[in-house]
Amino acid sequence: MLQNEYMAEEPKTETPVGLGTLLLIAVGGRLLFNSLLVALPSIEPVIPSAVLAGMLQGAASGAVVGFAGYFLSNLFLFSIGEWTIWQGFAGLIAGYIGSKTTRENFVTNTILATVIFELIINFYGAGYTVDSAYFFGSLGFSITHIASNAVFAVLFKIIWLKDTEEKEEKKDNEKKEEKK
């Protein structure tokens, strides 16, 4: 198998959650919120799932969750179009950002990835121009997306990254004891 700098041979840490689970959360969460809460379609855990996958398993895994999360959810929502490529591209970027993420900056990097997503999607939506009317018109959706992803990131950090921190501390303590 060919390896490059973006593909880790092994996950970066012992992962408390698998790639399939994160993809299921990304797709299932987007389907849930887009079908039950139609008035707020920007609530979707795809970006936080991609950042977490990138953080725990490397950029390639994060990119898979980011791209496939948007592609599969659009497929199930019957909304495949050229925007799907742009959503997937933004998901790829989120996965890469995740590969540069630590537990301490997980929420911040999720917000950063969501802002990048919004810039890409709004640039596409405005006809590949910087149309201030379009950007201001979509501002409510962008704010909802950024805020909801911050909430998802905090929840993911509480649920999955607490174990990671405890395991890392345990490994550090074992290494210190070995040196003595």
What pLDDT is recorded for position 1? 40
Segment 90-139, tens digit of pLDDT: 999 999 999 998 888 999 999 999 999 999 999 988 888 888 888 888 89
Distance CA 47, CA 150 (A): 10
Pairwise CA distance, residues 162 & 103, whole Å:
9
Closest CA to 66 of 88, 82, 45: 88
In CATH terms, is domain 19-179 a member of 3.30.70?
no
Question: With 70 as the cut, is the pLDDT of residue 2 above it?
Answer: no
What is the Cα–Cα distance from 126 to 174, expressed in whole angstroms? 54
